[in-house]
Amino acid sequence: MNHPHPELGTPSKLVAGGLRIVALGGLAEIGRNMTVFETNGKLLIVDCGVLFPEENQPGIDLILPDFSYIRDRLNDVIGIVLTHGHEDHIGAVPYLLRERGDIAIYGSALTIALISAKLKEHRISPLTREVKEGDIEDIGPFSVEFMAVNHSIPDALAVAIHTKAGTVLHTGDFKMDQLPLDGRVTDLPAFARLGEAGVDIFLVDSTNADVPGFMPSEREIMPALDRVFRSTRRRVITATFSSHIHRVQQIIDTAHEHNRKVAFVGRSMVRNMKIAQEMGFLKVPDGIVFDAKDLDAYDDNVVLICTGSQGEPLAALSRMANGDHQIRVGEGDTVILASSLIPGNENSVFRIINELTRFGAKVVHKGNAMVHVSGHAAAGELTYCYNIVKPKYVMPVHGEWRHLRANAELAIATGVPRKNTIVIENGIVVDLIDHEAQVVGSVPCGFVYVDGQSIGDITEDSLKDRRILGEEGFISVVVVIDAQSGKIVAGPDIHARGFNEDESLFDGVKLEIEKALTRAVADGINGTHQLSQVVRRTIGSWVGGKHRRRPMIVPVVIEV
């Protein structure tokens, strides 16, 4: 755990009637979105998502928001509002509900269906409240209004939170596609109505704030997909997020036009598409879908829709690239990566592209074809929203520093005073009192790592050790000394892994270790711990000087 800004200090108790806003994730990063709102002693949470690990976090499965700020006040939490069903907004809900299982979850029909299926896998029966655009829910002292927004998953919502202190409008993830596949456009009239009434703080999706203009419509992808399908001799394998129902719909429609059968590959993809189809969000022609287990019974005129567009190591596409999946990619196949690159995943994705190309497949991605459109508003759309809403304060959310800053500059260009743009990171506390906002402090807010069944046990020091082991190797030194005289009885025995493993390499340093131990004993240093540190320093300086390496060194001194 760490304080993002220790100089700010812990905030004082919130005044009666005030509104406190604390982001526990989603600021200065793409993922683990979670914001806590407090008024009159009650807490309302908007989103509770996960962040996916980067290459410098070896062995980590997921990264959660830091719940420590609310852990002692879980009984004050009166609801979790989910804006939409993407993992970076709902993925951490099971981990929060492990700490208190009866918190009511508010969300649209599809979002509730997706989170319920996820919680079922965690053996949690949630308390859910289905809402839709136009609804207003009184959740304790909060009056929460829901509005339709367009995003890369159906049934996404923006939320307006009305309190005595003022009104906060949170866009969630959104864009302003005017010709969406499902016909459900972002409710700009509702934004304008709220703006007329007065929006005190506007929390705005920043992901594409540094991209000029407007995002193309989802419909513009269809010609590119059609060209790929038309030119592919064998199978088409498409990778996308298991929640990207719009993209899957386009792939199914294109497959149907080209008389290709379709199979879903990957547990989450199969689960989510079944839910989407049952709820009417995914339209699947009769007889087009078959079970991937029966792939051998079909010719090459098929389309496989799988997970793994971000290079996730356990996802279907990564396993195909590694050659350890039952589906073997080969000459004549075309692989489509139908998604954007999330920052930090570039190396993993490029490795997959290289491996698939080595197998003979053609790989089509956003860099060489129009096979993906982002689900987030670009600068032109955001500017449009600022002019409609005319907020008093702006707090950019959902983005790295470059996105947050770019979003703030857009707001300033439309007339929001620079001092009224709140560009902050996770853990910074903002209070809204009588329609006036200010930063009042910070709370501990670190990364919580999930590693298998372990949650929060892995520390930054543990990760540092893993990185050293992975990059620099490991050396163990065992020395046995006489407890009475301090003389060396056996050793030093030196073993290396991930370093130069030729044991004769260490013959020279063994003598140095013996001399250092003899000097240490003569100087009155005794005890296995102190002597093991002498061994560590001796071999550490030798390895650093001779080989310019800093492996992990484990010295063991045994007294007999």
Per-residue pLDDT, 55: 58
Contact 421, 411 (CB under 8 A): yes
How is residue 187 written in tokens? Answer: 């409710």
pTM above 0.85, yes or no: no
The answer on 354 and 225 residing in a single domain is yes
226 found inside a domain: yes
Q: How confident is the model at residue 519 (pLDDT cuts 50, 70, 90)?
A: confident
Q: Which residue has the higher pLDDT, 448 or 76?
A: 76
Question: Could you report the per-residue pLDDT of 11-42, keeping only the tens digit for each?
Answer: 989 999 999 999 999 999 988 999 999 999 99
**Residues 337 and 386 occupy one common structural domain:** no
In a domain, 249, yes or no: yes
> Which CATH number is 322's domain given?
3.40.50.10710
Contacts of 389 (CB under 8 A, 6+ apart): 169, 191, 192, 194, 195, 199, 202
For residue 462, is pLDDT > 70? no
Q: Report how far apart, in Å, the C-alpha atoms of 225 and of each of 22, 152, 221, 364, 493 are.
A: 42, 17, 6, 10, 62
Helix 245-257 / helix 222-231 crossing angle, nearest 10 deg: 50
Q: Is residue 1 part of a domain?
A: no
- Residue 296 CB neighbour total at 10 angstroms: 6
pLDDT at 1: 38
Same domain for 238 and 156: no
Strand partners, 496: 475
Q: How far apart are the first and last CA of the chain?
A: 42
Residue pLDDT, tens place only, 124-134:
999 999 999 99
Residues 287, 273, single domain; the answer is yes
Given 333, 364, 395, the domain boundary residue is 364
CA 366 to the chain's CA centroid: 20
- Considering the domain architecture, whether residues 100 and 167 belong to the same structural domain is answered as yes
The continuous run of DSSP H or E covering 351 comes out as helix 346-358
Q: Is 266 within the bounds of a domain?
A: yes
What digits encode the pLDDT tens for the residues 531-554?
A: 777 777 777 777 777 766 677 777
For 551, phi and psi rounded to 5 degrees?
-70, 165
β-bridge partners, 144: 137, 161
Examine the domain organization and report whether 410 and 472 are in the same domain: no
Domain total in the chain: 3
Banded model confidence at residue 285, pLDDT cuts 50, 70, 90: very high
Of 419, 437, 453, the position where a domain reaches its end is 453
Give residue 89's pLDDT.
95
Residues 545, 530 within the same domain: yes
pLDDT at 489 over 80: no
CATH classification at residue 521: 3.10.20.580
**pLDDT for the residue numbered 31:** 87
Evaluate if residue 70 carries a pLDDT over 90. Answer: yes
| Parallel/antiparallel/unpaired status of strands 166-170 and 236-239 | unpaired
Q: Calculate mean pLDDT across residues 260-273.
A: 90
Dump the DSSP string for 423-463.
---TTEEEEEETTEEEEEEE-----EEEETTEES---HHHH
pLDDT above 70 (res 371): yes
Q: Is residue 412 part of a domain?
A: yes
The reply to whether 338 and 380 lie within a common domain is no
Q: How many Cα atoms occupy the beta-carbon half-sphere of 224 within 13 Å?
A: 18
Q: What is the pLDDT of residues 385-444, one digit of tens each?
A: 999 999 999 999 999 999 999 999 999 999 999 999 999 999 999 999 999 999 999 998
What's the token pair of residue 36?
């806590």
User: Which of 398, 426, 453 finishes a domain?
Assistant: 453
Structural domain containing residue 520 = 460-559
Residue 2 has pLDDT above 60, yes or no: no
Do 153 and 269 lie in one domain? The reply is no
Q: Hunting for tokens 């209070």 — which residue is that?
A: 431
Cβ-count burial 257-278 (b if 16+ within 10 Å, e if not): eeebbbbbbbebbbbbbebbbe
Q: Which residues of 86-123 are buried (b: 16+ CB within 10 A; e: fewer)?
A: bbbbbbbbbbbbeeeeebebbbbebbbbbbbebbeeee
Cis peptide before 492 (omega within 30 of 0): yes
Query: Cβ distance 249 to 273 under 8 Å?
Result: no
Q: Are 532 and 555 in contact (CB under 8 A)?
A: yes
Give the residue carrying structure tokens 């036009």.
257
pLDDT for 113 equals 94
Give the CATH number for residue 434. 3.60.15.10
**Quick check: is 510 in a domain?**
yes
Task: Indicate whether 232 and 299 sit together in one domain.
Answer: yes
Q: Is residue 254 part of a domain?
A: yes
CB 33 within 8 A of CB 398: yes
Residues 84 and 189 both lie in one domain: yes
Tell me whether residue 369 is in a domain: no
Asked if 418 and 508 sit in the same domain, the reply is: no
The pLDDT tens digits for 238-259 are 888 888 898 899 999 999 999 9
